[in-house]
Structure 1
Amino acid sequence: MAKPIYILGTGLSHNGSAVLLKDGRVCVGIEKERLTRIKHDGGNDTLAIQYCLDAEGIELKDLSLVVQCANFEIPDRNYYKGKRIFADAKDLKIVDISHHLAHAYSAVGTSPFSECAVMVIDGCGSPLDQFLKLHPDRQQHIAPEFLNENQMLCEKDSFYHFDGQQLTPLAKDFSKMAEQSDNLFSLPTTQHSIGGFYASVSNYVFGDMDDVGKLMGLAPFGKSGTYDFEAFEFKSGNLFVNDGWKNQFDNPSQGYAYFKEHFDYYANVAKWAQEQVEKAVLQCIQNRLEKFPHQNLCYSGGVALNAVANAKLQDAQIAEDIYFEPAAADNGLALGCAFYGWLDYLKMPKVPHDGSTCFGKTYTDSEIDATFDKEENKKYDPKKITDEAELVRYCAEKLKEGKTIAWFQSGSEFGPRSLGRRSILAHPGIENMKDRINLDIKFREDFRPFAPAVLKDKVGNYFQSARYSPYMILVDKTRHEYIQALKNVTHRDGSARVQTVEKSWNPKFALLIEAFYEQTGIAVLLNTSLNKKGMPIVETPDEAIHLFGITDLDILVMENTILEK
């Protein structure tokens, strides 16, 4: 029997992660924040790599190749913000790739396409000099005006062709870095990036650039047409940010109380910014596809997490089929590194991906039981329901009654969305449920929406466009006749960030929704991540029990073990 080929991908940007491929398939992957419990944690990668090795039961000597990616530097193999796991593995081959290339390979590796175009749009990619050092053979693909520039330029957006084996850049846009200052809109990104623009407006509205998704959640409360100036312009096919928009805003948020007092103002700013991003994304991708047409498109980079813009892109029908990479932000860099190693470096054929984005380890019954032997957890009285059909019927009944359930099953999701492995679940239509979860469980702003998880074959019953959306990365409109029944998962403007659930890689979650449907006639559950504000999504049984204890959650279900308050 042939020895397996293991390739490790590691991302050392913020949102650090590690991913292990076995013979071209993902066998395990984890984001560093899930282990350190520090949101968006990056830097040294030893902890995430050790998690992957332990989960698979292998050692460094079993790896065929390591591929790594940082942002502004090429990491030393031995030390990077501390000693690395490779320091004593002198014979292990380590390859470096650039930022946007890693984003692009993360998309093609998990996509259903054997050939496609790939678009990457984010806040900031690799510096040009680093890109050329890593990929000297690709200088021919860089426009002369960038090569002749005498200041640091970084990747802004990149467009590739994937032939089934290798990515070839077709268009790469670079921008100088934004100047750092005390200005309200100072950016840690390139001067002309869509991602940087969105982060700067988020900072203006919330005083926080790390959770730009809040801006998308706020925008539906605003009014279109409040502002009539443009943030972006296109020149010769490239996107630029107009600095003039910054002069229009001079009232930054001064804390949550101030934000609430001026809620309508900030909602209008968010609405304007969201619509600017939607137009810019569509125009940018349209421009590339007009020059290099293809029926299949992969889309990645941090901007590709904007579910509203994604729906507009899909509705524009500029490609027959679009794959939105679920881990589109920097947490997906490790995934792209691993697939680069398999496809490009080793020249191995692409292995079809099963659609799952759940790459974490599964915790055994004995590991779950062991958490209750700890002194702090002996106050709980867990019970077990070993029959799966009985378990989902029981949980569906409790959800019907209005109970909230922390649902901890199998390996955790890789990426920013909980998809039924590490989720908080509730009834989508019970009065005030949304407010209760925001206030007493998530401890977050009351305007934040929740997602509907719906059986794949029932999505058209409840949502107008019936989008296939397994990764909660596209919005739809709730059908008028179901707005009341789905009030907790329908946003202010009638939109919903839908998750279509399928049995092939999410079997127990699908069974639970089916059981809820049998009892209520509704094939939809409220689904949100198993965490509270400021906390990474729960990874371990210990963390799940801790969260259960400090919030107003009613029930915790870990595999077949149940805790109730």
Structure 2
Amino acid sequence: MSVILGISAYYHDAAAALLVNGEIEAAAQEERFSRQKHDAGFPRHAIEYCLAEAGLQLSDVDAVVFYDKPLVKFERLLETYLANVPQGFRSFVAAMPVWLKDKLYLKTTLKQELSALSGLKKRELPKLLFSEHHRSHAASAFYPSPFERAAVLCLDGVGEWATTSVWLGEQARLTPLWEIDFPHSLGLLYSAFTYYAGFKVNSGEYKLMGLAPYGDPKYADLIFDHLIDLKEDGTFHLNMKYFDYATGLTMTNRAFDELFGAPPRQAESEIRQRDMDIAASIQVVTEEVVMRLAKTIHQELNVDQLCLAGGVALNCVANGKLLREGPFEKIWIQPAAGDAGGALGAALVAWHDYHGAARIPVRPDAMKGAYLGPRFSSEEIKRYLDGIDAPYEEIEDNELMERLAGLLSEENIIGWFQGRMEFGPRALGGRSIIGDPRSPRMQSVMNLKIKYRESFRPFAPAVKHDKVSEWFVHEGASPYMLIVAPVQESKRLPSDGDEDHLFGVQKLNVPRSEIPAVTHVDYSARVQTVHPETNPRFYYLLDAFERRTGCPILVNTSFNVRGEPIVCTPQDAYRCFMRTEMDYLVMENILLCKERQPAWKENGDWRQEFELD
């Protein structure tokens, strides 16, 4: 038996992933256990979970693989500083203590942490290997994909040096072809606009994408003329005159502010039309870069399949356009496309590159629906609820699904906790909050009373996979909520012509389709197809809802509040249920009604517990 443990840590989104004989046994982000969103620390809890899931100890592991090479990253830091002396001295001084304490001596740090976790002496620890950052991304994209041969495109902020990389995947081999290096980065360009729009970098990019349809891309030409020199083949250079991320402590600078005529928006301040236009503009630019790169890669490699990873691969609007209008017949995107997925990619690098293991592609893919985290039995759930005197009902599946379908059709909002927790940033029917997409009030109620977040943010539809094309302009699977598609014309509502006078997010309250709660202002939706092979209970719930209402769709949003990681345990789920205005909570076969629960008491305002994202 071969056991490989992959780790990502110390930058953002720490995670662990475990391969047993090349099969993905378990994977999870540290944030789900520590309850600190984007936790970057050593993923102790995630490692302990992965080993426990497989019934193994660290002593059973053959190799531990870290997802990038810190010394090469340190080289980039030094070279960037030396190339810009004396600029950047403040950021260099700020970074050095962290590097000299932890990151530069990462091999020693990792061995200390692994030894403390396992009780093993350092000489007894598994072999410690290091993968390159973009190779980890590429491996996470290609090896679990269903393709025997495919182009691989990795787009993120920055790894060691690479920000964009192109690979050819063939059977069990990944061949690097070319790359674009720091500081020229599509991910950092998008993050610069995230910062400028008043959102948190490495967290608020989703908001920028969600805000874009409210605006007009008025600034796209300004971006192309001044910020990015985009070639016909998709390669690009950024004009570093306008950015501070290479040498300073912020993403943009005064020259950037002067170019756009205002300083960055203050976080949590009112969102203006210009902010929406800024968001629309950088989204258009991002899509253009991705489309040009895709056309070039397709021509160069003469393949019809494309795999994507890296943080930019989470831009589901660009992914949808690439699928509909791009040159590739099929695309596959790693659901944990960011740094968390690097842990899985690192383990796969060791399995295929280091051990030379063969690869047989699995259909639909090798990710098991991304349901790779912890699960809890009804008995474990009941023990917890009995311990806190929470009243509940235990109901068999057939009756439960019919009951839930009725509750949902009456506009109740339900916490849905079942099976294994998802790996990656999306809730996919394991740790979800669900509602009726036909309800015109559902979107605003969920945002303001459940998630406690900005009202403009859209929700996603979870749809039975065999009904997706009846409701959306999309064919085939989209199990990971990584493709945006238009709502079918036949499901749209005619416009009454009164929208012209509405401003920005006021347009949100205009019903646009038969499923207004999941239809964005541009008639788009971030589609998740649900499959009985990977999540039978969620599929059967959708089926019961369709039998009752004629609609095979539910609103699906992550089971958390703003700033909180997605819930992991029954304790997390019950706490979130009681803190919000959810009506019901179902955990496996256990149903709880909010009205019957004992009064919830906490010291102080729990909303101060989580840092806003």
**Count of residues paired in the alignment:** 513
Equivalence for 2:297: 288
Equivalence for 1:276: 285
Q: Is the 8 A contact 2:480 2:528 kept in 1?
A: yes
In structure 2, give the amino acid aligned to 1:201. Answer: F
Q: 1:383 is matched with which residue: 382, 389, 393?
A: 393
Equivalence for 1:187: none
Equivalence for 2:346: 337
Equivalence for 1:139: none
* Gap change, CA 1:56 and 1:536, over 3 Å in 2: same
SS in 1 for 2:166: strand
Q: Residue 474 of structure 1: CA displacement?
A: 0.6
- Structure 2 CA distance, aligned partners of 1:227 and 1:109? 36
Equivalence for 2:259: 248
* Gap change, CA 1:558 and 1:411, over 3 Å in 2: same
- Structure 1 CA distance, aligned partners of 2:417 and 2:457? 23
Higher helix share: 2
- Structure 2 CA distance, aligned partners of 1:340 and 1:381? 48
Equivalence for 2:157: 123
* Greater CA drift, 472-481 or 533-542: 472-481
* Greater CA drift, 109-118 or 402-411: 109-118
* Greater CA drift, 48-57 or 85-94: 85-94
Q: Residue 235 of structure 1: CA displacement?
A: 5.1
Q: 1:90 is matched with which residue: 123, 129, 134?
A: 123
- Structure 2 CA distance, aligned partners of 1:226 and 1:467? 35
1:97-496 matches, within 5 Å, as 97-126=131-160, 154-175=161-182, 191-209=183-201, 210-225=203-218, 227-229=220-222, 230=224, 231-234=227-230, 238-243=235-240, 246=256, 247-249=258-260, 250-256=262-268, 258-260=269-271, 263-351=272-360, 352=362, 353=366, 355-374=368-387, 377-378=388-389, 380-385=390-395, 387-466=396-475, 468-483=477-492, 484-496=513-525
Q: Is the 8 A contact 1:354 1:505 kept in 2?
A: no
In structure 2, give the amino acid aligned to 1:27. Answer: E
* Gap change, CA 1:405 and 1:291, over 3 Å in 2: same
Calculate the TM-score normalised by the size of structure 1.
0.87
Equivalence for 2:497: none
Q: Is the 8 A contact 2:418 2:430 kept in 1?
A: yes
Work out whether 1:17 is the aligned partner of 2:15. yes
Q: Is the 8 A contact 1:412 1:422 kept in 2?
A: yes
SS in 1 for 2:52: helix
Equivalence for 2:33: 35
* Greater CA drift, 501-510 or 199-208: 199-208
SS in 1 for 2:585: strand
* Gap change, CA 1:521 and 1:74, over 3 Å in 2: farther
* Gap change, CA 1:28 and 1:221, over 3 Å in 2: same
- Structure 1 CA distance, aligned partners of 2:368 and 2:376? 22
In structure 1, give the amino acid aligned to 2:483. Answer: L
Structure 1 outlier segments of 4+, above 4 Å: none
SS in 1 for 2:279: helix
Q: Is the 8 A contact 1:156 1:174 kept in 2?
A: yes
Q: Is the 8 A contact 2:298 2:304 kept in 1?
A: no
Work out whether 1:6 is the aligned partner of 2:17. no
- Structure 1 CA distance, aligned partners of 2:320 and 2:561? 27
Q: Is the 8 A contact 1:302 1:330 kept in 2?
A: yes
Q: Is the 8 A contact 1:450 1:526 kept in 2?
A: yes
* Greater CA drift, 441-450 or 77-86: 77-86
Q: Residue 554 of structure 1: CA displacement?
A: 0.6
In structure 2, give the amino acid aligned to 1:240. Answer: H
SS in 2 for 1:294: coil
Q: Residue 429 of structure 1: CA displacement?
A: 1.2
SS in 1 for 2:113: coil
Q: Residue 206 of structure 1: CA displacement?
A: 2.1
Deviations 1:212-258 (A, max 9, x none): 110000000001345532142235953212357734222321232x3
Deviations 1:335-381 (A, max 9, x none): 1011112111111122522642110121122221221243xx32x20
- Structure 2 CA distance, aligned partners of 1:401 and 1:297? 42
In structure 1, give the amino acid aligned to 2:589. Answer: N
Q: Residue 174 of structure 1: CA displacement?
A: 1.4
Q: Residue 268 of structure 1: CA displacement?
A: 0.5
Deviations 1:454-510 (A, max 9, x none): 111101111123353111001111123324320000001110001111111011100
Gaps of 5+ in 1: 127-153, 176-190
In structure 2, give the amino acid aligned to 1:233. Answer: D
In structure 2, give the amino acid aligned to 1:252. Answer: P
